[in-house]
């Protein structure tokens, strides 16, 4: 399998008007979009984990946890 290198997009003219050129362009676009959105996705993952509140630790007597994330106050 051939290795594809991702290059920074300066202009659209730097990519050939061929299937390989288009593939390289869209690969660079996808990598740039993933890098741009990385912190947003990580923050969303933290919110989902907090919302689900899946804790596997043992709870001792008197240790009550209430998930107020979904309560109707």
**What is the C-alpha to C-alpha distance for residues 12 and 35, in angstroms, rounded to an integer?**
20
Instruction: Give domain status of residue 38, yes or no.
Output: yes
pLDDT for position 44: 94
Residue linked to tokens 């300066």: 10
Instruction: Give domain status of residue 42, yes or no.
Output: yes
Instruction: Give domain status of residue 25, yes or no.
Output: yes
Instruction: Give domain status of residue 3, yes or no.
Output: no
DSSP 8-state secondary structure symbol assigned to residue 66? -
**What is the C-alpha to C-alpha distance for residues 5 and 61, in angstroms, rounded to an integer?**
57
pLDDT in tens, 5-54: 666 777 777 888 888 888 888 888 889 899 999 999 999 999 888 787 77
pLDDT for position 41: 95
DSSP 8-state secondary structure symbol assigned to residue 20? H
- Residue 31's domain spans which residues? 18-53
pLDDT in tens, 50-66: 787 776 666 666 666 67
Structure tokens at 16: 């050939």
pTM of the model: 0.56
Instruction: Give domain status of residue 45, yes or no.
Output: yes
């Amino acid at each position: 399998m051939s290795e594809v290198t991702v290059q920074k997009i300066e202009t659209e003219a730097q990519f050939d008007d061929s299937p390989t050129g288009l593939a390289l362009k869209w690969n660079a676009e996808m990598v740039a979009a993933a890098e741009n959105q990385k912190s947003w996705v990580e923050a969303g993952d933290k919110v989902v984990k907090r919302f689900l509140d899946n804790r596997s630790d043992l709870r001792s007597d008197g240790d009550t946890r209430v998930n107020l994330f979904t309560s109707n106050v």
